[in-house]
Structure 1
């Protein structure tokens, strides 16, 4: 077979030859944000806004006790922690998280904006202190900045499938916390913003090529991919003047809602149509765990009538997103 580095259409044939690729491992690159806030509207809004970006998943709770439990027992990459919680001051909750060994960035959210409040929050172990009301874009920039900083610190822990990697200690641990020996090798990081981009980069990888050549052709492959997703709305909102109810399906493209409705097939078809307006050599559909077999087959059959052999369907079983869509 002729290699087509930089293209995303040979997914099924090329991936079948790369035994190390598993969708659960790819999904582990998504950053999990723990949101601890008793304001239902704000909590729901943060979840919805963050999940518009495929690089985040959210775990949202309304009390300090629930936040402490999840921070200690679950792998999270960052915590958004309200100060005025009903069962405990958020600064005390922050101290308890640090005492329990939680080393991920903690951003405190509060309506108090005096210098003394900021100092108390930072002294409690928080990495940042954001006053309400805030612009989501500013909060998002701070989240990304703290995640980047943490990834380069000795405290960083990356989940890679069943393994935990601590780059500061050059240590890889299995599920039983047993060390796995690492060898010294040069490596290059090729950043991606979505699962379709990640898959396209993996397909472009050539084990017989030099590192710099692989990095160039993987980056080239990413540039030609348009990414979208179908998920459910987490709260009532509006789209082009029409109401979106909590639980409705929404189609996301370029970080915005481009279609919404109560029926998964119609929302998925409209999303793909919108994404393909500038042409589509290949449409890649990655089915999530929430899509039943019969419903998925119906949607995929209808898309195959339109795109024929240019449609690739993969079973990703990813959470949150009913479908991830990649178009080249």
Structure 2
């Protein structure tokens, strides 16, 4: 349910916001009557909590105005005046209840729940909402299946509640955003898809045999009709399989990592012994010494993090012995042999026991797997080329040389993305597979490849939900870059973390630890691939190991800080070195924080999560315009520059358009800046809803906006902008009950390379096109190349 709190006391409003959000209500707040009125006109609320004393109006007057306008939303008044006359005035103005200040927050929340019960279906609210054995209980705001609680996020709870309240009603993604998200949030429509997917996964994991949420392609989502009693009585395949506990899955994963470490040590110990012999004979070359030193350095973190501190200490001593620039002698050889014997003895005993552990709690081990790419193509050479490169992009690969094998692979493990050639020698083409997945309501992002580049193939791919279309021949880098972009668009709004460390054991442990905090984790073991993975992963935080071959963490950090797009990216270092000089070098390179190996989970959680939260708040303020919810000028320029780079690299078309609201000054002069702000806010909302996540929408300044249309040529861009212009023309803004107005816009469009190769040149050309649109009568779109 969605509640609007109108309260100018920020402390009281923030406490109410926190308490009600924890009860899974969606909350908007307004500090004055003017803002509250705009919110109520824009969104639908289940309850209004209204303070009587507001800075710009009397709350009773606002209550009277709402009732006169026909709004029947239940209203709870907050008043500091405990007199009969004030209470009577409030109730006669149309309020449903009141609470006198100072009040107990528990009492206020109880009153809110009582009002919600009174104004909605009483039996439903008392008994809760159900679907099969799924139950949403309003008395506790919890969800259970077969009496077992489900841990849902606030957004997942809100979506499920909306579906259960309105069975069979179809909700578009834009409507779901209005119903479930707060006014201060500006999610893309892909965020809805992500939360629906997360909700489905949790319901499936709970044992629900049939997905209760139905996707109606092109329309939205709705709740399915409940299965028949016969269907409910049939045991599901999922329910019949004992579910592993989270602890068991964690132990299993860590045991696998520990086994790999044991196998790795079986190779490293003999190598260390060969180094000791070379030292003894006086023929140890620099390459062999450096390699042994690096392997010892990796062991410090691996052994310590996996719960073998003694082995980590010995590895550190080996590193220090081999690290010194001085010539090694026979005494050093004896010391090295003794350290190697001790390391072998300690690790053999420790790794063969089952009592070691890493202190983690309930991470979802499935989330710790690298994303799975399924390549459906009968071109063996092409598949092998993609398969070899995919690992450096942080992907696992499965292959299928026929559609039949592809169906089996999908049944065995659902891939994160499919690379599909639609032309096969068999009777069926690849489009058949997409049709089958759609019928089964299996939503897997798909990149289409084919040697045929006709318009009909592209249209068919788009109609069946293909996210990208690549014409063969194409390089592995181009294909994997496109796949990475599509996966990025499909990701949810979880914070993204990129970890760079040449120690694969550390990478795996960090992935497990971070996955339990609902983070999207990307791993990279080869620093040479850093920049392309950085751009494809677009992380919210970067974790760097200090010592790595080819490029150190300090090298990578300095490179990141030279790029304006990544200038504010939080960077955390990992290192087994904690001397003052090393720490100073790390921070001088541009690091934000430092963690010592071996990793302590509590420190990792505190540092990473707090750093992500501070970055999110700072980025939200700097990147998004507070009124329209789209990119600010600064952030938009960065994104347009990145789009130009991607278009160049991937040989994609790109168009930019500047949109200017016609005669907007007259709106402000005639109706006031408050109404003008409402127009700008609605324009920003429609821009977010009508353009794709791979496009860029930004507020250039005032009533000017810029849109970057990735992958669209000039003709396609003109068509999409004309469709948007028609949508905008139909928007009506009410001034009074009898007076309304509408606004149009003019636009100038340019195409990358044809009209310019930089944002500055493209802006000059599209600004001239915009001027031409204004001069020829406004309310139209002009292409720069046409004049």
TM range, smaller chain: 0.3 to 0.5
- Report the structure, 1 or 2, having the larger helix content: 2
Which structure would you say has the larger Rg? 2
- Report the structure, 1 or 2, having the larger strand content: 1
Q: TM-score, normalised by structure 1?
A: 0.46
Q: TM-score, normalised by structure 2?
A: 0.21
